[in-house]
Amino acid sequence: MVGPRRPQFVLFGSSIVQFSFGEEGWGAILADIYARKADIFLRGYAGWNSRQAVEVLDQVFPKDEAVQPSLVIVYFGGNDSVLPSPDGSSPHVPLPEYVENMRKIATHLKSLSEKTRLIFLTAPPVNEAQILQVLGTKGRKNELCKKYADACVKLCREMNIKVINLCTTLKQRDDWLTTCFTDGIHLSRIGSKIVAKEILNVIMEADWKPSLDWESLPVEFG
C-alpha cells in the first residue's frame, strides 16, 4: 500500500468491467473524476458469469483484511443471460441460479464492513444484428437481457442495494442501438459516458454517511 490512505472503490464484473479502463471507458472516467480523492481498483474478468464470481469471492474480497472497500460496483448478467449451447460451452446460468448467485455476492460484500456500499449494474441491452455481423453469433437476445436485468433489480430492491438498470438507462437515447456499443455487446465511448453519469448520480443522491460523492471528498494534499 501507498499512503495516504484513500477510500477504495472496486469495480467487480466481467468484460464490461475489464474493458472499462480503456480509452474513455466508464472506469477510466471514474478514476479521472476521483483523482486525488479515491482509488479505483479493477477486478474485471472477461467471459465470466455469476457462478464463477461466487467461486472467487473470498479471494477477491477477503473478510479479514484490515481495510475494506468503501464502494463496490458489481456487474454480472450479460454472460449469464446468453442462450445455453448443446455442448455446454456457453456461459449461460439459469435465471434462478443467477439470482441466488447475485444474492450470495451481495451478502458477502455487505459483510465486509458496515461502511461498504454497493451499486449493482444489470445486464445491458444488446444490438443483435451487430453481434451477428461482428461476432457471428446468435446467442444473445434482448428478451433474455431484460429478464435477467429485471430479476437483478427485484433482488436489489429486496436487499436495499442501489441498482442501475442498464436495459432502461442505455435506451434513454433514441439511437442507442447504433451508438452505445462497439460490437453489439461491449460499451462504446458514448455508452460508457452514460454508465459513468448514472453511477455518479447514484453516488451523489445516496444518503450514505460518509458521503462518497466526489465533491464531498477531500483533495489529497489540497
**How does pLDDT run across 203-215, given as a tens digit for each residue?**
999 999 999 999 9
Whole-angstrom distance, CA of residue 14 vs CA of residue 37: 26
Instruction: Report the share of the chain in percent with pLDDT over 70.
Output: 100
Phi, psi of 26 (to 5 degrees): -65, -30
Examine the pLDDT at 35 and tell me if it is beyond 80: yes
Which tens digit of pLDDT belongs to each residue from 37-56?
Answer: 999 999 999 999 999 999 99
Grid coordinates 471528498 are at which residue? 217
Beta-carbon contacts of residue 146 (< 8 Å; ≥ 6 apart): 125, 167
- Looking at residue 28, the DSSP 8-state letter turns out to be H
Active-site residue list: 14, 183, 186
Smallest CA-to-CA distance from 98 within 153, 51, 42 is with 51
Smallest CA-to-CA distance from 101 within 152, 46, 161, 41 is with 152
Task: Provide the whole-model pTM.
Answer: 0.97
